[in-house]
Amino acid sequence: MSTYAADDIRSRLAAAPARAVDVSTPIRPSQWISFLGGPPQETAAQGSRTWIARAANLVIAYTEAKAGDVFTRTGQPDEYTVLMYSDSAPITVNGTESVAEEAFVVVPPGDSEIRADGDGILIRLFSSVAPDLCAQAVNADVYAEPDPRAAPLVPWPDPVGGFQLRVYRLADTPIAPGRFGRIFRTTNLMVNFLAEEPQPRDPHKLSPHHHDDFEQISLAVKGRFVHHIRYPWGPDSARWQEDEHREIPTPSICVIPPPTVHTTQGVGHHQQLIDIFSPPRTDFSASGWVLNADDYPAA
């Protein structure tokens, strides 16, 4: 189900193929995680604090970084990413690449380090094949058993030219008419940097829709948001769940389970949302909106 308005560019998306799932399969509850609402999972030498949460196929590490702290990975089994927006800390990756602006940074597998060159926010996204990070997640118990409704992570093809450090600066791909957000993908995830909105979203122009078999992780980095979620009814009325209309403090994530109907409403005076999917979405990939598609072939 979707109720995209005719002038919403997503109304032209081709339907994505979905796995067959029995309608009696339970729907996981949504998750609402405020990163500053509890103690951090890690504290670094210079005082950086990191909160870790996960979804079915990915782990997000949200850090209030302090200049001089270094964040390392040893033997990382696959590539991971750094999301840089206007409040991000400037960083140097692997001692060679300095980034001090909005960007989507892809770090190759193996050993790596990210040094914070100033105070600010550091956001890293990893796939769930890193068991140490999965175990540290504040909501690790939710995924003690896989969600049968969520498509498993099957890596997409290797990038052209092999795995390497890649920096995609958002200034090179500004928001443009006829394209939805700024979408990038890797072998294991997809990110959409939505525009900073200077005013509340029109409550008469929301966009409720659903995904058959993949989670949506909505990362709020600025402002105020209310997430609206409706759970479909299955044959067992004992499993029916009430609609949700909740605001959660920023910074936070809302993990939206399939196949719930959902939409997110910015209610502040200035806000920004980043949407994350793992594995990458086939419908967005087929749309021509993926900005680094030449580097990352579609599955």
Q: Is 120 domain-assigned?
A: yes
pTM: 0.94
Percentage of the chain exceeding pLDDT 70? 98
Q: Is 295 domain-assigned?
A: no
Query: For residues 102 and 88, is the Cβ–Cβ distance under 8 A?
Result: yes
DSSP string, 49-99: EEEEEE-SSEEEEEEEE-TT-EEEEEEESS-EEEEE-TTBPPEEETTTEEE
pLDDT of residue 231: 97
Q: Give CA separation, 151 vs 212, 213, 273, 292, in Å.
A: 9, 6, 23, 23
Give me the number of domains the chain comprises.
1
Mean pLDDT of 54-80: 98
Query: For residues 214 and 281, is the Cβ–Cβ distance under 8 A?
Result: yes
As given in the structure block, the two tokens for residue 223 are: 């402002």
Burial classification of residue 122, based on how many CB atoms lie within 10 Å of its CB (0-12 exposed, 13-18 middle, 19 or more buried): buried
DSSP string, 196-220: PBSSPPPTTS---B--SS--EEEEE
Is the pLDDT reported for residue 127 higher than 50? yes
Q: Is 74 domain-assigned?
A: yes
pLDDT of residue 1: 43
Over the stretch 2-19, which tens digit does the pLDDT of each residue have? 556 767 778 677 777 777
Domain, as residue range, for 42: 9-286
DSSP state of 248: -
Q: Give CA separation, 232 vs 23, 31, 212, 215, 229, in Å.
A: 10, 17, 11, 15, 10
Over the stretch 152-209, which tens digit does the pLDDT of each residue have? 999 999 999 999 999 999 999 999 988 999 999 999 999 999 999 999 999 999 999 9
Backbone dihedral angles phi then psi of residue 181, each to the nearest 5 degrees: 60, -150
Q: Is 76 domain-assigned?
A: yes
pLDDT of residue 54: 98
Is the pLDDT reported for residue 237 higher than 50? yes
Q: Is 1 domain-assigned?
A: no
Q: Is 154 domain-assigned?
A: yes
Mean pLDDT of 267-290: 95
pLDDT-derived band at 129 (thresholds 50, 70, 90) equals very high
Query: For residues 32 and 116, is the Cβ–Cβ distance under 8 A?
Result: no
Q: Nearest CA to 178 among 8, 46, 2?
A: 8
Q: Is 259 domain-assigned?
A: yes
Q: Is 2 domain-assigned?
A: no
Taking the C-alpha atoms of residue 50 and residue 106, their distance in angstroms, rounded to an integer, is: 20
Run of H or E residues at 286:
helix 282-286
Mean pLDDT of 254-274: 96
As given in the structure block, the two tokens for residue 192 are: 């959409």
Q: Domain holding 84: CATH number?
A: 2.60.120.10
Taking the C-alpha atoms of residue 66 and residue 289, their distance in angstroms, rounded to an integer, is: 35
pLDDT of residue 72: 98
